[in-house]
Amino acid sequence: MHLLLAPLALSFLQAAGGAPTAATELPDLTLEQSSSLRCSVAFGLVHRAQNSGDEAAAAYPVMAERGQEFFVRTTAQLMDELGASRETIMGLVMREHAALKGSPERVDEVMPACLLMLDAAGL
C-alpha cells in the first residue's frame, strides 16, 4: 500500500480487526462510487510517484493534501451509502489499488477525469 493510503488503511484495519479475507464479499458499486474510489486510489499512486521523483507524475498537480482529503471523503461516503464496515471499504480500496498499481498507463487514462472530479469536489 502506498504512502498516502497507508495511515488511513492502518486505521481502518485496526478498527476492523485485521485485513479483509478472500472470503469477504465486496459489494457492487454504482458508477459514481466506483469512479470516486478509482480516483482516490489514482491520486494516491500519483502522490507516491511524485514523492519518488517520477517526472511523469510531476506533470500532475501535487496530490498530497487534496488527494488525501478526497480519499477520506470518498471512503466515508461509501461507508454511509453502503452501510459497509471499514474492513469492506479497505477490501474495495485494495482491489482498486491492485487494478491500478501495475499499470501506469491506466492511471494516466483516468487522471484527466479524476482531476475534474477533484475540482468539482471543491478540493
18 assigned to some structural domain: no
Domain of 51 in residue numbering reads as: 36-120
59 assigned to some structural domain: yes
pLDDT per residue as tens, the chain (123 positions): 444 454 454 444 344 444 444 445 889 999 999 999 999 999 999 998 898 899 988 999 999 889 989 999 999 999 999 999 988 999 999 999 888 887 778 999 999 999 999 999 998
CA distance 55 to 50: 8
10 assigned to some structural domain: no
Residue 15 confidence (pLDDT): 43
Q: Count how many domains the chain has.
A: 1
97 assigned to some structural domain: yes
CA distance 49 to 32: 26
